[in-house]
Structure 1
Amino acid sequence: MTATNAPASAPACAPPGLVGDDGRLRVALRAIGVIAHRDLLRQAKRPGVLISQGAQIFFFVLVYAVGFDGMIGSVGDAPFSAYVFPGIIAIQVVSIGVASGQTYAWDREYGVLRELLVAPVPPVCLPLGKVVAGAGTVTAQSTVMLAFAPLMGVDLTAGRFAAALGCYALAATVFSVIGLCLATVITRVQTLQATVQLAMFPMLFLSGSVFSPQDVPAWLGWIMHINPMTYAVDLARQTLLGGGGLLPRWADLGALAAILALAMTVLRLRSGR
């Protein structure tokens, strides 16, 4: 009998799911889902972290939205508590998003990253899975925080709630990717933690999250335009309050999309390092 040779385009040893672009995409998506599920389970087993994050947001609300409200009164037509509330949620979203890159660094430190990278999937699947887990967690927290917006004087409708949730989900994705980029560039865990702490406070407080950016000096305004968080805060504030932003909404969206595209390019090039 004459043996029949297998086609070169589909080797006999290749798993069926890996043959063809659709199969590779399904495998990649499944890998992203597995990594996201692993990180979500790890977060669920550490309730103390969620409690500390809740205490942090409560502190910001108590100090800025409640403590300063009687002293400042209002910003434009909005009470000060309503004006800063979108920025306070953005502080939580950005800080947790950027810090999520540290889980990637710890996986690399303990050798877990090396074991995961031997899987027959693109290396970028690992950080993308972490982005899905981190952004999903922060978006869920934003949903809970937005429910308290009427107590801060925000006129919250169903449409504004959905649009604001979309803004925070976008911001969570952008800053989770930025956090992962930092983790792939800075290989030492201690250096990464110090860098995140060093960058966090200027980013948070020079974004207009707890003050009106229209009232700052011109030189500070230029610095704020360099800060990527400025666009997330401005977009969320306009969405919840119905206007009065620093830039048009399309400009905020365009800036966030450009930052995300740049960060994804860096993440794609640095994945597995």
Structure 2
Amino acid sequence: MGGSPLRAVRIVWKRELIRFARNRLRIITSLVQPVLFLFVLGTGLSGIVVSSAHFNFRTFMFPGVIAMTILFTSIFSAISIVWDREFGFLREMLVAPVSRWSLVLGKALGGATVATIQGAIMLVLAGAVGVPYRPLLLLTMLGEMGLTAFALTSFGVLVASRIAQVESFQMVTQFIVLPMFFLSGAVFPTGDLPTWLKVLTRFDPLSYAVDPLRRAVFEYVSVPAPLARILGAGITWGSYRLPTLLEVGLVALAAVSLLGVAIWQFSRTD
């Protein structure tokens, strides 16, 4: 793996894509849970939440389910670091004549690419839940998905950098991932929550990724005004509703910060 740092980034990134392409079962099974959430849970909640309005609640859930796909794929893509540590391959990578930051960046970019591809596959189902196949909408969502995937993969790499066993990694990530998902507003609106729960959603970084995706969708679908105030309330700090660019900027800041800490952690790895 000797050579320039950019070459090392490309090799590690390509390794992640090859792993993903060769594991077709992983591609299929990782889509089962999002599809169940969207069509089973979404259909069940639709009759309760919007039973009196002409609106498909699965349209509301669609951005959240995409975020869930990216979340689980991004975080668990970092599990390969733990596998590599157990089987000794990670040590070989760390002693290679390349900068360690290039290895971390390549891993983060590879995991983010895989997660974005998984999310893009879910976009195929957009029409089934009332989301139009508008090129600008799809491109906007792909861009936001890619940024979110990079932030979450960087977080997964950071967690994996100090964990030696696969079982421990799975336990830690489950402890973190499920609260992140349910507090993000992926499956229910956060505007009218109790104060203590609303505060928790504001501290959840995934909330700032779900809301831009939902805003992009709501610009292209018709939502009854009473429901729009509830389902499209967005993220607020007090009485201030955060604009999309600020939310995206916060996700980008989190991505850079998490990547920096992950690089620092790997620099300390023996």
- The whole-number CA distance in structure 1 between the counterparts of 2:205 and 2:80 is 22
- The whole-number CA distance in structure 2 between the counterparts of 1:168 and 1:136 is 10
Q: Offset at 1:193?
A: 1.5
- The whole-number CA distance in structure 1 between the counterparts of 2:12 and 2:186 is 32
Report the CA distance shift for 1:78/1:231 in structure 2 as closer, same or farther (over 3 A).
farther
- The whole-number CA distance in structure 1 between the counterparts of 2:81 and 2:59 is 36
Does 96-105 or 206-215 show the bigger shift? 96-105
Does 179-188 or 229-238 show the bigger shift? 179-188
Among 18, 30, 33, which residue is 1:56 paired with? 33
Count of residues in correspondence between the two structures: 249
Q: Percent identity?
A: 33
Contact 1:64–1:84 (Cα < 8 Å) also in 2: no
Alignment partner of 1:262 is 2:254: no
Alignment partner of 1:134 is 2:111: yes
Q: Residue 154 of structure 1 aligns with which residue?
A: 131
Report the CA distance shift for 1:40/1:207 in structure 2 as closer, same or farther (over 3 A).
same
| One-letter code aligned to 1:49 | R
Q: Offset at 1:75?
A: 10
- The whole-number CA distance in structure 2 between the counterparts of 1:82 and 1:57 is 14
- The whole-number CA distance in structure 1 between the counterparts of 2:93 and 2:109 is 17
> After the TM superposition, which segments of 4 or more aligned residues of structure 1 sit over 6 Å from their partners?
74-77
Among 151, 159, 166, which residue is 1:174 paired with? 151
Alignment partner of 1:200 is 2:177: yes
Larger radius of gyration: 1
Q: Deviations over 1:122-163 (max 9, x none)?
A: 112222222222111121222221132122012442111100
Q: Residue 252 of structure 1 aligns with which residue?
A: 247
- The whole-number CA distance in structure 1 between the counterparts of 2:215 and 2:59 is 12
Alignment partner of 1:121 is 2:116: no
- The whole-number CA distance in structure 2 between the counterparts of 1:144 and 1:122 is 34
Q: Per the alignment, in what secondary structure is the counterpart of residue 82 of structure 1?
A: helix
Write out aligned runs for 1:230-245 (5 A). Answer: 230-242=207-219, 244=232, 245=234
- The whole-number CA distance in structure 2 between the counterparts of 1:254 and 1:137 is 22
Q: Offset at 1:226?
A: 0.9
- The whole-number CA distance in structure 2 between the counterparts of 1:260 and 1:137 is 16
| One-letter code aligned to 2:208 | Y
Report the CA distance shift for 1:82/1:74 in structure 2 as closer, same or farther (over 3 A).
farther
Q: Residue 13 of structure 1 aligns with which residue?
A: none
Contact 1:161–1:240 (Cα < 8 Å) also in 2: no
Does 208-217 or 155-164 show the bigger shift? 155-164
Q: Residue 79 of structure 1 aligns with which residue?
A: 56
Q: Deviations over 1:219-266 (max 9, x none)?
A: 111101111111111111111212832232122112212211220220
| One-letter code aligned to 1:89 | I
Q: Per the alignment, in what secondary structure is the counterpart of residue 19 of structure 2?
A: helix
- The whole-number CA distance in structure 2 between the counterparts of 1:204 and 1:179 is 15
Alignment partner of 1:213 is 2:208: no
Report the CA distance shift for 1:130/1:62 in structure 2 as closer, same or farther (over 3 A).
same
Q: Residue 12 of structure 2 aligns with which residue?
A: 35
Q: Per the alignment, in what secondary structure is the counterpart of residue 185 of structure 2?
A: coil
Does 240-249 or 141-150 show the bigger shift? 240-249
Contact 1:81–1:152 (Cα < 8 Å) also in 2: yes
Q: Residue 143 of structure 1 aligns with which residue?
A: 120
Q: TM-score, normalised by structure 1?
A: 0.85
Report the CA distance shift for 1:200/1:115 in structure 2 as closer, same or farther (over 3 A).
same
Q: Residue 238 of structure 2 aligns with which residue?
A: none
- The whole-number CA distance in structure 2 between the counterparts of 1:268 and 1:117 is 12
- The whole-number CA distance in structure 1 between the counterparts of 2:51 and 2:100 is 50
Alignment partner of 1:108 is 2:88: no
Contact 1:156–1:240 (Cα < 8 Å) also in 2: no
- The whole-number CA distance in structure 2 between the counterparts of 1:53 and 1:222 is 31
Q: TM-score, normalised by structure 2?
A: 0.86
- The whole-number CA distance in structure 1 between the counterparts of 2:128 and 2:198 is 31
- The whole-number CA distance in structure 2 between the counterparts of 1:75 and 1:132 is 44
